[in-house]
Amino acid sequence: MQNEAVLDHRLVGGHGISSALPQQGRRGRKMPPIVLRITLGLALAWVALVAGLGWWTSQRIVNARLDNVAASAEYEARTTARVVDRLFTEMVSVANMVARQGQVIQLAARYRTDPPGAAELTRQQRAAQFTQDPLVRRVGDYMNALASDLRYARIYMNNLSDDTVTASNWAESDSIVGMIYSGRTYLIDALRHGTGQQFGIARLNNSPSYFVSSRIEDANDVPLGSVTAKFDAPEMAAYLTGRHIALIVNRQGRVITASSESFMLRNLAALLPPGTVLPPDGGEEPGEPMNAHPIANAGPDAGQWLIDDKPYLIRRQPLTNPQYQLITLATLDHVAPMRTQHLYTAGLVAMVGLVLILLSGQAAGQMVMRRQEEQYAANYDALTGLPNRRAVLAELDRLFTLAKETRMWVLVAFIDLDGFKAINDTYGHVVGDKFLIEVGQRMSAGLRKSDMLGRLGGDEFVVIGLVDPPQPDDPNGPAEAMRNRLAPLLTGTYTFTECSFDYPGASFGIASVDPSVSSLQAVLKVADQLMYADKQARRTQRTA
């Protein structure tokens, strides 16, 4: 155990030359101490100067950009609010105009309520009864022409039984004629108060829509039914054009129209002024809440929020219809890239100065680096990355010297990959190369800390190391111990992208010698002879 401790201490990096060369390469890249201290001093001063000026310049540019975005968002919010207000006013006007049209009043008076038993009929049966009436069809055609001109989803008329007497789509396969809309808030309000409004999800096509209704009255102001103008939210969204995201939200905070689809029908109650959010009224769902909170370091009045982890500058704008509010979101995604761009610019300026400062040292470093790379290439196998024959022999010579000093023995293991030519011939040289690489990786897993694995060339590998002198009653103990560690690792299945095969194992020739009575050439010869003997024995065993 004492000899092993001495060995671990004296081996370079625990793996001989395989660790020594990279470390030497890294030392070769360092500047001389005096040059390094002066260079670092100048570099730090330059970096500090660039960082200070860069931060100050970046802050001024970003703040100016934020002011421009805020002004743009405020202007767009006011402009969009006027457009939305006009749309809502137009819907009310259209509903009122249709409700006061002579033929509509005549039709409403004719079908003021459903006859007994109508509720038990199917929608199609009720529709068939209504559409037999030429007046139903004429009023429906009038509503269809008007809805097409105004891009409304639908205009329809309901009687006091909430039954749809006619509609702009009366002749279509998805006609709502004969549909009974009991309990609809906008219809109830229209009959009670003259007008009714509601946002909801249409049940037939599952479309989010605005419903505006107006009461139909006779000459004596007796209610006869109602006319409803339905305007789909996607059509409303077409008017929310601009650079920024425009949202129409209701008093519960639900986004009922959005210029960006990802916000539609979500809930942003956190953005509404405190005390203005109403609880759900039992109608439509409030919508899935979005994660929204103010940006902490932006200041309380900056209006900067994180919504689902994306930064926005928000502006609120009330609408004429108190049920809704317009929110404008100006994305601030460009701020972080802007700061990053400024950082890169400052970094580039700093780098230019650093390059000038480090130029002379860099030239010397390149020369040393080339020498280290040449030395590495001369001592390592290009395919497996393992030490090559030259490195192995140099390390073995060093081990002989070290073994004499520590009174240890030198162990050499030759490994020859049986059947490697057949693998190349069967699967190709690409698979053969991958096989060699994996063999090296598998054997590396079975090495001791002080062992060194190398590739001699072709399908031949070698392991060298120091071991304690063998016991008199077990002269082959160290060799067998190494064989037991490495041989099982090489047998079994090898799986690659191109193929998979079972490999029966390799031939081993393992020799341990006393360096005081043997030589480097002798141990190599013995190990080589033992390997060929093992190969012959394995071949005989396979053919038996």
Indicate which residues carry an active-site annotation: 459
Helix axis angle, 420-427 to 429-445, nearest 10°: 140
Please give the backbone phi and psi of residue 284, each rounded to the nearest 5 degrees, phi first. -75, 160
Triad 213, 321, 240: Cα angle to 5°: 100
Nearest CA among 329, 335, 332, 336 for reference residue 271: 329
What is the spatial distance between Cα 487 and Cα 129, in angstroms, rounded to a whole number? Answer: 92
Please say whether the beta carbons of 278 and 252 come within 8 A. yes
CA atoms 117, 122, 126, 128: torsion sign: negative
What is the spatial distance between Cα 328 and Cα 215, in angstroms, rounded to a whole number? Answer: 34
Specify burial of residue 325 (Cβ count, 10 A radius: 0-12, 13-18, 19+).
buried
What is the spatial distance between Cα 427 and Cα 417, in angstroms, rounded to a whole number? Answer: 16
For the chain, first and last CA: distance in Å?
43
Please give the backbone phi and psi of residue 509, each rounded to the nearest 5 degrees, phi first. -130, 110
Triad 133, 137, 139: Cα angle to 5°: 115
What is the spatial distance between Cα 271 and Cα 326, in angstroms, rounded to a whole number? Answer: 11
What is the spatial distance between Cα 226 and Cα 162, in angstroms, rounded to a whole number? Answer: 9
What is the spatial distance between Cα 230 and Cα 369, in angstroms, rounded to a whole number? Answer: 76
Nearest CA among 452, 469, 464, 462 for reference residue 516: 469
